[in-house]
């Protein structure tokens, strides 16, 4: 089954404790992206990746890191989480042929930073 998986689905952590949210897709998609969703603000793009070893900042990259060592995986790293990073996070992937086309979303990761 074609899908985007994220782990963990729920996470409670404390300020400053490094964490990684994993994202994996099995569709051989070139384009992958991370979003955060907050009430009243919709989805905002954190980072995106055009292909292996190619990443770029979205609209809200501060406090986040990403890497794309393999085509299928695109982990999101919070080196020193803060309470303002409490949010619902989505990973997405797309078969990009010149343009970003249909994105397939993961189920989301709810993060609470105390």
Interacting residues toward other proteins by CB under 8 A: 4, 31, 33, 35, 40-45, 48, 50, 56, 58-59, 88, 90, 92, 96, 99-108, 110
User: For residue 7, what is the enclosing H or E element?
Assistant: strand 4-7
Q: Which is nearer to other proteins, 63 or 104 (CB)?
A: 104
Of the candidates 21, 42, 40, 45, the one whose C-alpha atom is nearest the C-alpha of residue 110 is 21
Q: How far apart are CA 86 and CA 111, in angstroms?
A: 5
Q: Which is nearer to other proteins, 33 or 85 (CB)?
A: 33
Considering the complex, what minimum distance in angstroms separates the CB of residue 102 from other proteins?
A: 5
Q: How far apart are CA 7 and CA 70, in angstroms?
A: 17
Q: Which is nearer to other proteins, 17 or 38 (CB)?
A: 38
């Amino acid at each position: 089954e074609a899908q985007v998986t994220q782990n963990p689905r729920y996470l409670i952590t404390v300020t400053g404790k490094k964490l990684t949210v994993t994202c994996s897709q099995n569709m051989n998609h070139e384009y992958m992206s991370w979003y955060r969703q907050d009430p009243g603000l919709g989805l905002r793009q954190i980072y995106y990746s055009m292909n292996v070893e190619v990443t770029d900042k979205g609209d809200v990259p501060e406090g986040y890191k990403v890497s794309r060592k393999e085509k299928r995986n695109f982990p999101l790293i919070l080196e020193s989480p803060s309470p303002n990073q409490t949010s619902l996070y989505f990973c997405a992937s797309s078969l990009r042929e010149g343009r970003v086309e249909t994105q397939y979303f993961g189920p989301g990761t709810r993060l609470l930073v105390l």
